[in-house]
């Protein structure tokens, strides 16, 4: 079964980037600590990363994050989706206008200009098609940024929320949830490693 999974790293004080984030400073000031687990030698961290990347049939990201990963200092042959995993699912970008050109032209990019709900629907269709082609269940994954994940959860578009809780306080930056309606999630699992706490919740 294809699920819609929101998967993002977050600080203890609720930020997914530090302050002053931008195309040349994707994680913001001090934000590198959010992704320490991604580059860790801890076998549990490596397993979490591999399993998530391996199950990604399609990936949704916002335009701000796209500009970071497609920028000169972004993804390359060694570090891409899933860090060193360099996965190559379909990528769906939520944007008001499509870019004039794409640096990472070898990847499968689709630019959706009609809103997040439509982008998630496209990602689910792509993931379902990939599941049939590979004869195994693959997911539609929302990788960020914070506004995309937070809005999707609030809009009821997400089946599973995966948070990688980094043991850092950023003080300010890009918050994950702002003005969200109160709700209770069902905790599915919690895995503590030397670098983070991997939390998985299901949403009714």
HSE toward the beta carbon, residue 122, CA cutoff 13 A: 21
Strand stretches in the chain, DSSP E: 4-11, 15-17, 56-62, 90-94, 109-112, 139-144, 160-166, 174-175, 186-192, 197-202
- Ordered by where they begin, the domains of the chain are 4-202 (3.40.430.10)
**Tens of pLDDT, residues 38-79:** 999 999 999 999 999 999 999 999 999 999 999 999 999 999
Of 128, 130, 124, 88, nearest to 109 (Cα)? 88
Residue 127's nearest CA partner among 161, 90, 92, 152 is: 90
Joined together, the tokens standing for residue 144 give: 């960020």
How sure is the predictor about 181, in pLDDT bands with cuts at 50, 70 and 90? Answer: confident
| Contact (CB, 8 A) for 81 and 87 | yes
Cβ proximity of 168 and 129 under 8 Å: no
With beta carbons less than 8 A apart as the criterion, state whether 28 and 21 touch: yes
pTM: 0.95
Task: Identify the residue with better confidence: 162 or 180.
Answer: 162
């Amino acid at each position: 079964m294809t699920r819609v999974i929101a998967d993002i790293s977050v600080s203890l004080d609720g930020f997914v980037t530090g302050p002053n984030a931008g195309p040349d400073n994707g994680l913001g000031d001090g934000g590198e600590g959010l992704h320490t687990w991604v580059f860790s030698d801890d076998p549990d961290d490596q397993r979490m990363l591999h399993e998530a990347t391996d199950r990604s049939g399609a990936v949704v990201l916002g335009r701000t994050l796209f500009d970071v990963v497609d920028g000169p200092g972004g993804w390359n042959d060694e570090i891409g989706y899933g860090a060193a995993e360099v996965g190559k699912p379909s990528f769906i970008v939520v944007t008001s206008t499509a870019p004039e050109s794409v640096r990472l032209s070898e990847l499968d990019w689709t630019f959706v200009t009609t809103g997040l709900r439509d982008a998630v629907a496209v990602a689910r269709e792509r993931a379902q098609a990939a599941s049939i082609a590979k004869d195994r269940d693959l997911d539609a994954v929302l990788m960020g940024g914070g506004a995309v994940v937070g809005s999707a959860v609030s809009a009821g578009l997400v089946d599973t929320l995966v948070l990688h809780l980094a043991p850092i306080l950023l003080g300010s930056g890009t918050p994950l949830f702002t003005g969200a309606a109160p709700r209770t999630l069902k905790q599915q699992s919690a895995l503590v490693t030397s670098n983070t706490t991997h939390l998985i919740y299901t949403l009714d």
